[in-house]
Amino acid sequence: MIKDLFSDERLLFTKATPNSDAIPTIFAFPNEYSVGITSLGYQIVWATLAMCPDIEISRLFTDTHESLPRKPELVGFSMSWELDYVNILNLLEFLEIPLRSATRDNNDPLIFGGGPVLTANPEPFADFFDIILLGDGENLLGNFIEVYKEVRNADRQTKLRKLAQVPGVYVPSLYEVTYQAVTGDIKSIQPVDVEIPKTVEKQTYRGNVLSASTVVTEKAAWENIYMVEVVRSCPEMCRFCLASYLTLPFRTASLADSLIPAIEKGLAITDRLGLLGASVTQHPEFEDLLDYISQEKYDNVRLSIASVRTNTVTKKLAETLAKRDTRSITIAVESGSERLRQIVNKKLLNDEIIQAVVNAKAGGLKGMKLYGMVGIPGEESGDLDATVAMMRDIKKAAPGLRLTLGCSTFVPKAHTPFQWFGVKPEAEKRLKFLEKQLKPQGMEFRPESYKDSVIQALLSRGDRRLSHLLELTRQYGDSLGSYRRAFKELRGKLPELGYYVHADWSTDQVLPWSHLQGPLPQATLEKHLATATSHFN
């Protein structure tokens, strides 16, 4: 099985021959190979390490692995989904490494992690990691490895203290968290002494050459896809959106220096191209990029686009996608209520949404998926009626087009203006209301699980007190009932589930991530929050 998975890979980089004293390193993705190898972030970090002669790298997934070193010095994890923490703990056990940083000694490797989940709020998982890399890997990874080489032969504590001086390198054990009470708010988060930085700042890569796939394989979840990052972050700044706020500023890849060379390189070995980014069509040279992909020599290419801004859905875009074997596209509208879209800073009118759908059909697409949300702060029952009315209007405007409304529950995310709001319990009923209204009209409704949203909110707003709960829940299963059971067992030792998930928090309280600086200071987030609440009734 191992041979079959890895032997199918077509690499777009050249591995280095490791030096005789190269650092034995395991780089893991806490999910199956097909999922991990489809992560562009994982691919880039793996290739960066594999091209370094000072590193001897081995990959590890939940279902397969390369030949692993007997005594690794570094073990890294790329974390893209909160619930993958279970697999991180399972893989540490598989490697016979103590789960908690505090119980590891000089004979154990340093466990480091990165990725969007850990950059946003690493605190629920902090006790399991020695080191967390906050932000973009382009600069951070090389600096981390260079400093590690300097202290490679030192004792564990010396290594950690030295690495904590590297910008963007967070060593959780060197920060002490105190609480107002065992089940109360955080009182303070302080470094253990004056030599450790008071705050750790997320690192931002500001170049105009963005990422592209380093490997193509038919065993990926998106078979044989070659991915190109067109933009990073999003200029829209919807107030709930982690993908926008956490990754600011909005950056675009140079068409001449980044996109075209990358696409030419990838399409030499595959005919499937994916354009990635939170708002791909807002690239300033997007029309030129479309023209380039529309060349006759690429007529056999299957094109996928990750995210399309609604008012950039032109007939030309739809025609290009339809010709390139795309049958439908997705637009995020959040709600049919223009008042609610003002609250979240979604600069969009219903007429623009309808025009996008009309253009999609005129260009030859067969379907359109709209992405909405319930439980948005300030939402009222009339806002749901507005969503139903908007979907009816869309159906009238584009008869025959297959319409789908995917709908999630609002989940608060760190470093966004809505981080202080909790999940609304009534969101579950609101999902059922939309389903009841839309299905009889021949529209497909795909709600995301409300219970999964509760778990996601718990992990996205959690603090270090959750570590014991996460260990317990792993034994019980991954359902919301398992988390409730663990909370019951630990009652009196940490706050209740509702504190993390449903409570609205004060802007005055210390947040679990207050010592970790995102792109915008809290004062700016509070201004954006005030603008949002000014539209509440």
Radius of gyration of the chain (CA): 24
Residue 485: the pLDDT is 97
Residue 1: the pLDDT is 44
Which of 29, 26, 136 has the alpha carbon at shortest distance from 78? 29
Residue 335: the pLDDT is 97
Residues in a beta bridge with 135 = 203
Residue 3: the pLDDT is 52
Examine domains 2-201 and 224-452 and report if their fold is the same: no
Confidence of residue 136 (pLDDT cuts 50, 70, 90): very high
Residue 139: the pLDDT is 86
228: Cβ–Cβ under 8 A, 6 or more apart, which residues? Answer: 210, 211, 212, 213, 253, 259, 262, 263, 266, 273, 274, 275, 276
Per DSSP, 146 falls in state: H
Percent of the chain residues past pLDDT 70, beyond the cut: 99
**436-483 pLDDT, tens digit each:** 999 998 899 999 999 999 999 999 999 999 999 999 999 998 899 999
Which of 284, 295, 352, 357 has the alpha carbon at shortest distance from 320? 295
**203-233 pLDDT, tens digit each:** 999 999 999 999 999 999 999 999 999 999 9
Question: How confident is the prediction for the chain on average, in pLDDT?
Answer: 95
For the residues 416-420, what does the mean pLDDT come to?
A: 98
**What fold does the segment set 224-452 form as a domain?**
TIM Barrel (3.20.20)
CATH of 2-201, one of 3.40.50.280, 1.10.3720.10, 2.40.37.10, 3.40.50.10860: 3.40.50.280
pLDDT for residue 2 is more than 60: no
169: Cβ–Cβ under 8 A, 6 or more apart, which residues? Answer: 131, 132, 133, 134, 140, 143, 144, 147, 163, 200
The H or E element containing residue 411 is: none
Domain ranges in the chain are 2-201, 224-452
The helix/strand/coil state of 248 is coil
For the residues 232-241, what does the mean pLDDT come to?
A: 95
Query: Can you tell me the distance from the alpha carbon of 504 to that of 533, in angstroms, rounded to the nearest whole number?
Result: 13
Confidence of residue 266 (pLDDT cuts 50, 70, 90): very high
